[in-house]
Amino acid sequence: MMDTYEFNDNVKVENRMQLEIIIGNNDGLNSIIGCVTIVGLTVGNRFVFELEENKRSAMIRDNCDTLCTDELCNKGKCIDLFYRTVCDCRGTYQSGKQCNEAMKTINVSWDQYISYKMDDNDSQPTVISIDFK
């Protein structure tokens, strides 16, 4: 959106300022995913204006509703990534995409070890969680 604003009184900025605020993706620039609230602009300790919406790109939507529901992850924690959800099952002794599968357990004796190997084609995990009894 592109707007021009007039300033007067004791606000120490240029008399005329051209302001462009872009929310969302613009010409291949890095964009953000999440909820953004822009109420207005403050210069120093003075409130200058409220933002009026001129145009909106196709993927911007009103409100900031969560994709998570109480039932989605059973006893796990739902993490809202704003375009999809993931379940964090740590501490529930459950596994699976929705923390609805029994956790697999193994018995390791003193002369054995646990090894984890990933194929090069797989993406790297962000969390590897091991509980010991």
pLDDT tens per residue, range 38-58: 656 666 776 666 666 666 666
Domain span at residue 28 reads 2-50
Residue 45 in any domain: the answer is yes
71 with 29, same domain?
no
27 with 70, same domain?
no
Residue with tokens 């933002």: 51
CB-CB contact of 125 with 117 (8 Å):
no
Q: What is residue 100's predicted lDDT score, i.e. its pLDDT?
A: 94
88's tokens:
């964090």
33 with 87, same domain?
no
Q: For residue 18, what is the DSSP state?
A: E
* Backbone phi, psi, residue 32, to 5°: -110, 160
120 with 70, same domain?
yes
What is the pLDDT of the chain when averaged over all its residues? 72
pTM: 0.51
Q: Would the CA dihedral through 21, 26, 30, 36 be positive or negative?
A: positive
38 with 79, same domain?
no
Residue 114 in any domain: the answer is yes
Question: 12 in helix, strand or coil?
Answer: coil
Determine what percent of the chain is predicted with pLDDT higher than 70.
50
